[in-house]
Structure 1
Amino acid sequence: MLHSSKLPSFFPQPQSKPSYQGSLPPTTIHIPLSVFDKVAFDTHVALIYAYRPPTPSNVTLELGLQKALSVYREWAGRFGEDDNGRPVILLNDEGMRLVEASVDSTLDQAMPLKPSESLLSLHPSLKGVVELVQVQLTRFSGGSLVLGFTKHHRVADGQSTSSFLVAWGQACQGIDISPFPLQDRTTFSRRNPPRFEFDHRGVEFMNKKLDNVYSLDDNFMDRHQDIVSFFKPYSTFESLVAHLWRAITKVRALSGFETTHVKIAVNGRTRLNPRVPNEYFGNLVLWAFPCAKVMNLLEKPLPYAAKLIHDAVAKVNNNYFKSFIDFTSYKVEEEDLITTADADATVLCPNLEVDSWIRFPFYDLDFGGGCPYIFIPSYTPIEGCLFLLSSLIWDESIDAFIHLFRDNWTTFEQICYCIE
């Protein structure tokens, strides 16, 4: 990993702004946040890419970025409010932050590159940032490049973010950006009369009086690769999450009468009817919450947990998404509710949260020299948070990035390969 003597030297650049061909678009318009944007985490998320030489110059990367920003203007804007005080994205083209850095050592000397505090030096800060996107280009001796990318979650979900990154790569290669994003965030209209088929209180929303903030004294984030093939009719994802849910619950030594749940993101593009194209740019995610008593989760066989996950995800369907739209449009302001998404939470025990990036084209970010040989989330010290990624060795395996307390990690390593 990066030692203090080998930390990057930084060379901040002016704001990188969109580059347009032809007439300039107006910079006085705005886009309202959708009902799905408003329940997303109000925070920045950081990704780390690594490329072996030859890599394009920083000038080439910035020019490509400016072209991509001319298509995805939201990233070059700022958060603001409309005349009614509602949150919007101002399309003012104020630009994004670009930082250049260098390290006086080879990237191989910093390996293995895994989520730890040293990764924080490879991307811009996640705190107190007005820019909606930031990029850090860190050059290592020998020509390797590490790209640190941060984005605000309320602008776009994983599907949209990965599409933007692919577009950046296309622009760097001189390829026309394709497909173009669909950027109408007003498409999710409420029904009249509304139909509240599900109770969204305590799921996506809560009363302001509730306090969901926890404190963390000791944290540990590690990377663990696992190749799992379980039982039909459940998917690899369902089986893997079921296995990890049981293993993590076991090492936490919880009371058998305690309830544990897993928060799983569900992409609404394929759930809504009519279907929303993958090109939709913004957030379009709600969550499934399979839950169980600890004693049942651990005493029953693995298919029990897999079925809980399967059934909970299946319930987040077209009817659920439309009920959410109606509830958000009619009830949130009336009841003065706030979202349950807590960007400051640091301990999820007895629960888990799973972010799956398996189906998103993050690995397709090619600047002309090939795909990355490393792609990982940055250091995010939240106990109980899991990231699932397709393995870069292209063997259909999955990389699991698991956040656990240090005291639980040794036991977890001993049991994680034991399938009961």
Structure 2
Amino acid sequence: MAGRVVLVSSSIVRPVNSNQSGRTKIHLTPFDFSLLQFSSPQRGLLFPKPDPSFHLISQLKSSLSLALDIYFPFAGRLVKTENLEDNTVSLFVDCDDSGARFLHAEAKSVSVSDILQPDGSVPCFLDDFFPRNGLKNCDGAPEPLLVVQVTEMNDGVFIGYSYNHMVADGVSMWDFFHTWSKICSSGSCFDHKPLVLKRWFLEGIDYPIHIPVSMTERPPTSRESSSVDTTKHWMLHFTKKNISDLKAKANSEVGSSDMVISSFQAVSAHMWRSIIRHSGISQERETQCKLVVDIRQRINPPLEKDCFGNMVYLASAVTTVEELLDRGLGWAALEIRKLVSSQTNENCRSFAEDWVKNVKNLKLGIGSKVDGDTIAIASSPRFEVYNKDFGWGKPIAARSGPSSSLNGKLTLFPGINEGSIDVQATLRSDILVNLLADVEFLEHVTTA
């Protein structure tokens, strides 16, 4: 860690009751493997500074140990085995209670106001408040599946984390974070129901799945890495009224009572059209809006809404730049709505079966272009992030880390005010400058 952040200690926190039986191995599905080359997700919450009587680090570590006893996969390790008969490898999660990594850091010269910039910019030094920068899910075999970093500031505390996306998704991670905060604030482990694993495997597919060795290795350095230096992070705020106006506009353009546009779809469409308008690409080019879709309730029979594991995958709405810009907000929102609605049980099964069938011919990398024609929307404004009280107060703000700093990545959070949405946008500097000067865009967005 460089600059303002100083690492004080690094330790491993294990479940309080290590030596659990009957939960040793979790096989990975095609949905998990499709995330191999993605960067490990990073999220974090900014809190006020606790009273000195609150033993911050010791209480966070002891409550983390109790939380890991419930969410035991986070204390395991990703294991790679060689299949000599066909020169492939397999991966599984070994729930061996090896533990999560806990980093304690200090940034005594940093204040809450330094992070909450009035113009919406995200300061570069915040990168060091997140653990495991640059790590991909395919790097996970020797690493802890969960790393937490607690950074004490002048007048606040930042709790950042990174986790292996093949083991869990945002639903599972925020559920875990909520449980950890409740244990810490209460001082004991409350009566929590046993963890429900996703338990979804397709018939006709042999597990463990055999994959080429190359899929577990990083691809050669490409344009993906060169794009990181040219992007900036910016917070964009949609108030409840902003969203209401956007929805009203989109729904009036759609003009159908059977096709109602949601808040998420209206905001996503507004961001998609506005970013592409300033990307400088030709009208004939294709443009994509990629969404992370939760399929727990989309498969048949449906899974429990809070079952633990990774149950998301990336789906894309595709059109031309000319169509996107000429047909209006309602049309773009409707394309996103159709994309989400199309993720049916048959669609999910087809994806998994095709993935296994074509595993030897799959392209490595995330498959996203980084020259301005694609936006990728991660996280969800439905996640409850502002109810995570560890015992000294609720969060002040939520942020995403620098992992996968590709041009066009949008991370959505609920706003701190009810009904609002915050978007952390990662964009090329030239696109960002033009976007922040766009009157049509700013009519529905604030940066303060």
TM-score, with normalisation over the residues of structure 2?
0.80
Aligned residues: 393
More displaced 10-residue stretch of structure 1: 78-87 or 407-416: 78-87
Residue 228 of structure 1 corresponds to 243
Which of 192, 196, 206 in structure 2 is aligned with 1:178?
Answer: 192
Rate the CA distance shift 1:349–1:322 in 2: closer, same or farther, 3 A: same
Residue 391 of structure 1 corresponds to 415
Residue 98 of structure 2 corresponds to 94
What does 1:158-169 correspond to in 2, within 5 Å? 158-169=170-181
Which of 328, 333, 358 in structure 2 is aligned with 1:301?
Answer: 328
Rate the CA distance shift 1:167–1:177 in 2: closer, same or farther, 3 A: farther
Q: Segments of 4+ in structure 1 off by > 4 A? A: 208-213
| Contact 1:36/1:284, CA 8 A, preserved across alignment | yes
Which of 265, 269, 275 in structure 2 is aligned with 1:238?
Answer: 265
| Contact 2:66/2:189, CA 8 A, preserved across alignment | no
1:121 corresponds to 2:116: no
1:10 corresponds to 2:37: no
Alpha-carbon displacement from aligned partner over 1:26-52 (angstroms, at most 9, x marks no partner):
599321112221112543221121111
Alpha-carbon displacement from aligned partner over 1:80-100 (angstroms, at most 9, x marks no partner):
135754110122222221111
| Contact 1:261/1:352, CA 8 A, preserved across alignment | yes
Q: Aligned partners of 1:346 and 1:387: how far apart in 2?
A: 18
Alpha-carbon displacement from aligned partner over 1:285-320 (angstroms, at most 9, x marks no partner):
123311111111111221111111111211111211
Residue 212 of structure 2 corresponds to none
| Contact 2:2/2:128, CA 8 A, preserved across alignment | no
Residue 351 of structure 1 corresponds to 374
Identity of aligned residues (%): 23
Q: Aligned partners of 1:135 and 1:385: how far apart in 2?
A: 23
Q: CA deviation at 1:175?
A: 4.5
Letter in 1 for 2:60: L
Q: Aligned partners of 1:152 and 1:100: how far apart in 2?
A: 20
Rate the CA distance shift 1:34–1:148 in 2: closer, same or farther, 3 A: same
Q: CA deviation at 1:340?
A: 5.8
More displaced 10-residue stretch of structure 1: 384-393 or 359-368: 359-368
Q: CA deviation at 1:111?
A: 3.3
Residue 255 of structure 2 corresponds to none
Rate the CA distance shift 1:14–1:175 in 2: closer, same or farther, 3 A: closer
Residue 149 of structure 1 corresponds to 161
More displaced 10-residue stretch of structure 1: 209-218 or 318-327: 209-218
Residue 337 of structure 1 corresponds to 361
* 3-state secondary structure, aligned to 2:12: coil
Rate the CA distance shift 1:69–1:293 in 2: closer, same or farther, 3 A: same
Letter in 1 for 2:406: I
Residue 190 of structure 1 corresponds to 203
Unaligned runs of 5+ in 2: 84-88, 206-214, 252-259
| Contact 1:115/1:377, CA 8 A, preserved across alignment | no
Residue 197 of structure 1 corresponds to none
Rate the CA distance shift 1:290–1:177 in 2: closer, same or farther, 3 A: farther
Residue 146 of structure 2 corresponds to 133
| Contact 1:167/1:177, CA 8 A, preserved across alignment | no
Alpha-carbon displacement from aligned partner over 1:154-206 (angstroms, at most 9, x marks no partner):
11111111111111112212242534421254x222369xxxxxxxxxxxx9x
| Contact 2:150/2:159, CA 8 A, preserved across alignment | yes
Letter in 1 for 2:271: L
Which of 409, 425, 430 in structure 2 is aligned with 1:402?
Answer: 425
Rate the CA distance shift 1:223–1:383 in 2: closer, same or farther, 3 A: same
Q: Aligned partners of 1:359 and 1:98: how far apart in 2?
A: 27
Q: Aligned partners of 1:302 and 1:77: how far apart in 2?
A: 45
Which of 312, 321, 327 in structure 1 is aligned with 2:348?
Answer: 321
* 3-state secondary structure, aligned to 2:163: strand
| Contact 2:133/2:402, CA 8 A, preserved across alignment | no
| Contact 1:180/1:279, CA 8 A, preserved across alignment | no
Rate the CA distance shift 1:8–1:213 in 2: closer, same or farther, 3 A: closer
Letter in 2 for 1:285: V
